[in-house]
Amino acid sequence: MAAPVGPEGDAPNHPLAVRMGVIAGVSHNVVVGTVMGSFGLMLASVEQRLGVSAEEAAAGIPLVLVGSSVLAPFVGVMIAKVSLRLLLLIGALLTVAGYLTLAWTQSYALYLLAYGLCFGPAMSLAGSIGPATLVGRWFNRNRGLALGIVHLPVVIAVVPWTLERALSAVSPSMIYLSIGLIAAALLLPLGLLAIDHPPGHAETLAPEPDAKRTADGSFSVAQLLARPRFWAISLAAVASMTSSVLLGSLLVPMGLSWGFTRPEAALLQSIMSLVGIAGSILFGWIADRIGGARALALIGFDCAVLWALLLQHPPFWMAALVIGLIGMHGAGAIPTLGKGLTDSFGQASYSRGFGLNTLIGLPFIAVAVVGSARVHSVTGSYDGAIVAMAVFFVSAIALGLYAAGGAKVPQQLAAA
């Protein structure tokens, strides 16, 4: 039988936890960083090589986002039932297959297949849910900080700068082939080194009587969806994710509408990304101190104020400060969400909860981006979209505080 060994946050991490964190960090960065970081710079070469329009070439990323989001709940369930090492390896193989396809294909259909059927599933398996679950299982102390470090956007910051210089020296096909070979060299050996669980330990269980949990001590998808606290944590995190994607998509036209030049607006986008690196670590640390749900409420309060400041159309230096702080808070959503889910529903339920959150966020993100563009085309201003985001963050404050008030996972369990 399982036996308690003390409060979960006080249970020491296994000596192999750091190794698992490195594996998770490399997997997340290679899959997400190369796919998202290379896409924009390779668009022109795709148009020329495949003979398609800019709109047709740009269809790749929406396919990745929709594919990974729709698959996320199923991946979350699979991770709870199938070897995580196997799923990380499948995600690695799909990533490599996608780049090899892009390197050799002259077909637009295969181009779409690479993004939709290779990179989409790989993003869930080896880019987001898989690595985050590995960290959640191995780290008891400083779990939020570990999640923050693993999700540092290191590769995505380096890839565009590197590819811009590489395109002047080698062909696009060689670039895709090189990325695929590098991904294979990193992801396959590290995937083989991944270990599903700490030896001798079981995952913390959902804080409910056995009759209200599944056989492995976790919540099923239906049980999570039936709990208001899950919706509260999820929607509080979705507010930050929506904010990040909205600004990442429309910050340049927003900046132009505020009277900034295009280089100034592009600089705002760079500032948001760079400051976000600090936010991933900072809010992971905060979540360890005050809990994931309270950290989400804190992010909601800060961002409600920051988005309201954008209504004043501040001068460039102040806009840069506000946008940078919004980016910092947005990057904190993943570690605070991860800490909140394991605090409230246990490590055993984490992969399902994370997968469901990804799908729940998709319609909010889509409506925000499309709706904001529509608001601007009708009114000539983004103020309506800014107000909507501020209101969303006000609701995130209440949702985070509500989620923080429930029962927490009380103890770390050790196997017999």
pLDDT in tens, 51-70: 888 778 877 878 888 888 88
Residue 409 · residue 232 · CB < 8 Å: no
Predicted pLDDT at 216:
53
Predicted pLDDT at 204:
54
Same structural domain, 66 and 187? yes
| Separation of alpha carbons 57 and 338, rounded Å | 34
Q: Please check whether residue 87 lies inside any domain of the structure.
A: yes
Same structural domain, 119 and 267? no
Strands 413-414, 3-4: pairing is: antiparallel
Q: What is the pTM of this model?
A: 0.74
Packing angle of the helix pair 333-345, 292-310 (nearest 10 deg): 150
pLDDT band at 208 (very low <50, low <70, confident <90, very high): low
Same structural domain, 153 and 269? no
Same structural domain, 234 and 129? no
100-145 per-position pLDDT tens digit: 999 998 899 999 999 999 999 999 999 988 898 898 888 888 888 8
Q: What does DSSP assign to residue 210?
A: G
| CA angle, residues 55, 60, 66, in degrees to nearest 5 | 115
Identify the domain containing residue 375 by its residue range: 221-405
Same structural domain, 176 and 282? no
Same structural domain, 166 and 275? no
Q: Please check whether residue 413 lies inside any domain of the structure.
A: no
Q: Residue 313, Cα to own-chain centre: how many angstroms?
A: 29
Contacts of 12 (CB under 8 A, 6+ apart): 140, 141
Same structural domain, 99 and 248? no
Predicted pLDDT at 131:
92
pLDDT band at 297 (very low <50, low <70, confident <90, very high): very high
Same structural domain, 36 and 160? yes
Q: Is the dihedral of CA 112, 116, 117, 122 positive or negative?
A: positive
Predicted pLDDT at 10:
54
Q: Please check whether residue 198 lies inside any domain of the structure.
A: no
pLDDT band at 5 (very low <50, low <70, confident <90, very high): very low
Q: Which residue has the higher pLDDT, 6 or 366?
A: 366
According to the 3-state scheme, what is the secondary structure of 253-280?
HHHHHCCCCHHHHHHHHHHHHHHHHHHH
Q: Please check whether residue 386 lies inside any domain of the structure.
A: yes
Q: Residue 222, Cα to own-chain centre: how many angstroms?
A: 23
Q: Please check whether residue 249 lies inside any domain of the structure.
A: yes
Name the most confidently modeled range: 349-353, 366-370, 385-389.
385-389
| Separation of alpha carbons 385 and 391, rounded Å | 10
Q: Please check whether residue 209 lies inside any domain of the structure.
A: no
Count of structural domains, the chain: 2
Predicted pLDDT at 411:
46
| Separation of alpha carbons 106 and 100, rounded Å | 12
Instruction: Give the residue from 193, 211, 239 where a domain finishes.
Output: 193
Same structural domain, 85 and 180? yes
Q: Please check whether residue 200 lies inside any domain of the structure.
A: no
Predicted pLDDT at 235:
94
Residue 30 · residue 155 · CB < 8 Å: yes
- Strand partners for 3: 414
Same structural domain, 77 and 187? yes
Neighbouring CB atoms inside 10 A of 369's CB total: 17
Same structural domain, 238 and 189? no
Q: Residue 111 sits in a domain of what CATH number?
A: 1.20.1250.20
Instruction: Give the residue from 173, 193, 213 where a domain finishes.
Output: 193
Predicted pLDDT at 415:
35
Q: Please check whether residue 181 lies inside any domain of the structure.
A: yes
| Separation of alpha carbons 281 and 276, rounded Å | 9
What is the distance between the terminal CA atoms of the chain, rounded to a whole angstrom? 5
Does residue 185 have a pLDDT over 90? yes
Predicted pLDDT at 214:
54
Residue 4 sits at φ, ψ, to 5 deg, of -75, 145
Same structural domain, 154 and 90? yes
